[in-house]
Structures are given as structure tokens and as C-alpha cells.
Homo-oligomer: A and B are copies of this chain.
Amino acid sequence: MQTFFQYNWMVREQWYEWCGDISEEELLATRIGGVGSILKTLFHIVDVEWSWIQVLQGKPDFQEDFERYKTLQQVRELDAKFHTEVEPFVTAWHEGLEQRIFEDHLPDGRIVTDAWGEVMRHVIAHEIHHVGQLSVWAREIGKPPVSANLIGKGLINSLPGKA
């Protein structure tokens, strides 16, 4: 589980760097699909990751308003702040939490349950999915997207000497 989070955090950092070369106008431009702009997508990824990990722990969630985070710097600062809470939870993750139950109380009164292992994978897939959208918009702008490769990042130590 940790490997995927590390991957997402590395790729996200690379997207922030990528955004550094893009005008604010392009970052905020309305685009087709997803949540509608490059910067709003990064904000959404950060918000959703933190929110799920908050609610799993029974901690208060609140919907951050994108209106307050309309610059790359503001999104990065929010991410850094949330990361101090997200990272310890991810690091402490273990097999024994996989089937723990999260009760989701929906606005319409229904209660649905998800295993914690599903919620964590949902968070992982959520980011990769949205980053796929960024890759299309990057090409529309005419700038090569960040690589989505998971291999080659040294995420798992293998010992070549043992091959």
C-alpha cells in the first residue's frame, strides 16, 4: 500500500514542478472532463486524499473551497500541511487494517460500508485517474506530461547482485 502512495507523492511533486513552467491562466483554464482545470485537479487530489484519511480516523473533515487555493503556491502549501497528517497514517498502515469497516453516512440518510482497504485503494486510484486527465490536458497545451511510469523510481529495493 505504501508503495502506491510513495508513487503518487513523487508523481504529484513532478506535476507541481511541471506547473511551474505554465502560466497561471493555463493552470486555471476551464477544460473538458474531470474537475475542469489543472490546478483544481491537483487541489482536488490533495483534498480527497486528506479527507478520506481524516474520516477513517473519525477526525473532522471539511470541504476546502478551491476559491482560496487558486495559485500553485497555495495548493502546494495546503498539500504540505495535509501531508503531515496523511503520511504518518500511510506509514503506519498494516495488513490488520484491511477489513476494518468504515461506515459512510450519506446525505440521503443511507449508510454504506467500505473496508478500510477499499478506501485506501480508492484514494490511490483516484489520484492516478485524475493524473491521467492531466496528461491529456498537458498535450493540449503542447507540453509533454509527467511520466506515469511506476517502474524505474526505486520504490522497492531489489538487489541486482542477487539476480
Which residue numbers of A lie inside 8 Å of B, CB to CB? 3-4, 7, 31-34, 98-101, 103, 112-115, 117-119, 121-122, 125-126, 128-133, 135-140, 145, 148-153, 155-160, 162-163
Contacts and interface: CB of A to CB of B under 8 A. Distances in A.
Contacts of A153: 118
Total copies of this chain within the assembly = 2
Given A32-B136, A99-B158, 6 more contacts: A115-B156, A121-B155, A129-B131, A132-B135, A133-B136, A136-B136
Nearest to A104: B151
B33 A151 contact: no
B103 A163 contact: yes
Contacts of A119: 151
A57 B4 CA distance: 23
6 contacts: A33-B138, A33-B140, A34-B136, A113-B158, A122-B150, A132-B136
